Structure formats: C-alpha cells, structure tokens
Structure 1
Amino acid sequence: MTDMTWEESINHHRNNRKEEIMDAAFQLFLEKEMPQVTMKDISAKVGISRVTLYKYYSDIHEIIFDFQIKALREIYDFVQQKVNLGVNGTEKLNIFLKAFIEVYREKADLIAFTGFFDNYYQKIYPTHELEEKYKNFLGENTLLLNILKEGVKDHSFSSDININMTAELISHTMTAMIQRFAIRGHLISKMRNIDPEDLLIELTVVINRYLCISKQENNEI
C-alpha cells in the first residue's frame, strides 16, 4: 500500500472530521428536536471550537443535508445488496420490501432522522444549492423503478401498471410507514395492540397483490 500524498492526507483528515461532526449532530438530533440543535451544541459534542466547526460547515443546514444523504445512501446500499440476490422481478420486489422491513428493525434511528428531516423541511429548503444537491442525489436511486421494469418485461407484474407512478406510490408509502413506526411505533403498538412490523408485512402482501399479473393475462401470454 503506497503512502498518501500530502493532499490526500489532508482530504482524508477533513473527511474524517466531517464524519465526526455529522455523527455528533445525529446524536443531538435524536436527543432534541431538530430546530433546537445549534452549531454551539455540535461543536461541544465533537470537542472542537465553533471557529473550527465553521471551517467544515457554514451552517447547520449543511450538516443536516449531508447526514440525510449519508443516511439514505446507507439504507439504499443495504437494500441494493439484498436485491442483487434476486433473479426476476417478483423475487427482487419481495426482497426489496423485506429489506425495508429489516431497515426498520435494524436502523430505526436512521429512519427516525429521515422523518425529522422531512418534518423540518416540509415547506421549503434553506438554499437552492442544498435543494439541487438533494434532488440530484435522490435522482440517482432508480432501484425500485428498475425492478418494476424488469417485472413487467418478464411478465411477473401486470403490463398495464404505470411504472413511474407505481414506483413513487410504493416508495412513499413504505417510507412514510417506516418513518412513523420508527418515531412512535412503541406508542402505536401500545394504543392499537398491534405490532407495527406486522403492518409492514401486510403492506408487502397488498403491494404484491396489486402488482401480480391477472389470471386472464396469464392465459394470454
């Protein structure tokens, strides 16, 4: 392994520091409501001065957006690795949906953060630059869209579905449910006497029923 150049070493140190800042901010966002966390809180949590903190981030919104992208990328990568094991549209969709349930079970804090993010920025993004950065990142994730296209092509799913609309429907429904359950699933379980995970499993059944090819279409193939 070759030694890093001076520039690589500086970038490595900078990236590590930014990771420390994001992770510290993440812990604070789980402890407090997002609007209540300040740059002063974050610098104290990391153990650096506010002057040093501002060398890495100009404001708290940049930290929040960087961590949101980091959290979603971790979730997407986890799901992608699972889906790669599938051999057709139906199998990949089932793996995709089950992987989201695993995410809810194993990465609840990350899911909760994405819920806090959506609530905090429910009306407007702080800057056009951050909005474009986030929009471009979201545009990179076409996994579910590709699964649906493959399923229609191999006749796993009904040929008359609107692929783009269906991908949005599934994505927003699954995301909304796991966010809600990650944040207040314990209360829902207590008040409704039902396990939120059972509801997620039932949702996967509903989605599969919606997408499955009809008997009539099967006979025509």
Structure 2
Amino acid sequence: MSSSTPLVSLCQQATFIKSASLVSQCPPDIGLEVAFAGRSNAGKSSALNTLTHARLARTSKTPGRTQLINFFKLDDERRLVDLPGYGYAKVPLELKAHWQQHLDAYLTGRQSLVGLVLVMDLRHPLSDFDCMMLEWARKSDIPAHVLLSKADKMAFGAAKNALLKVQTRMRKELGSNASVQLFSSPKRMGIDEAHGRLAQWLFPAEQEDSEG
C-alpha cells in the first residue's frame, strides 16, 4: 500500500451513515464501497471494528444480531458495508429468507461495490454460505478477499497449515481467485495486509500510479 494512501486515517474516522432493510433504502449507488460478509459467528463485526479502530459494527454474544445492511462513510466517495450475518440456527426461517433475498438484491444490483471481504472462522472454514459467496463473487467478477478469523485460537504452525488447505480447496474445488490471509481481532494480526487489500479496491488510481 502506498504510504500516501489515506485509507488508515479514513478508517479511523469512519462514521455510520444508515441502515437499510431494503435495497431501495441504501445510500445513492455512487462512488466505491467494500462489503463485509460472513456467517453470524465468524467474527465479522469484530474484524470490521478492528480494521477501522472504531466501534462501528455491533458485536454481540448472540450471533445473528446484524439484521440490516449497515453503511459506514470513509469519505464522500468511499464506504464500508456490513452485510447481514446469517446461518445461525436460532434465527427464524422467515428472517433468514428475508436476509437471503435482501443480500442477493444488494450483491447483484449494487454498481458501486468494488470488493467483498469474506470473514471465515479459521477452525470452521468454507461453510455452505462461504462457498456460495465465493461462487457469487467469481461469477460476478467481483474481487474477494478472505479473512480467516480467530487465528489466535490455533498454534501458528497449525494456522498456517489450515491457511494452505483453504487456499488449495478454494482454487481446486471452487475455482476461486480470492486472496486469503490469517486474521485475529484480539491479537490485531493481519491488519496491515487487510488494509492493503482495501486500499487496492478503494484507491485504484493510486495503486496504478505506484505500479507504474
């Protein structure tokens, strides 16, 4: 990431814009935004809070509390988006169906979406939901980056082996080109790498200049 890229500073100043229960309630579809997705117990909200150094996303000991699409402003042109987490057994089926329909409408129709961060629990990666999201990203030609969260729950060697297994399976079985990294919110592991990926998506012109 270019040292001139103000992403980290913007993340520290990120502010809540609004929540939407329907796509029609989302902010205007302009500029650039990166969405965070993950099963409701994968640590998505904690990851988003860690990357922004702010208490943006609501965390709870009861998974499944993020029931709306939540938008956070970085600047006038860039946003981060916290998508509904689902897959938790105690959430009513009608609510799951609503989330599914709402999420599909957002992912397929949002023109400003330039990247997807998919948060997976390193100990339980590539759930049906994870595979569905990776397949959607591949078919939609939207770049994806996987945060293998809770990496602090495993020894470093075991975590690296798990990372390699996930990378291999994603490419061989899913045909996914998504990048993958280890991440831990409590240990603040992998923050720089994740910020670098966000900067590539949210500041594409600066990335091209640094490569040129």
Same fold (TM over 0.5): no
- Which has more helix, going by share of residues? 1
Larger Rg: 1
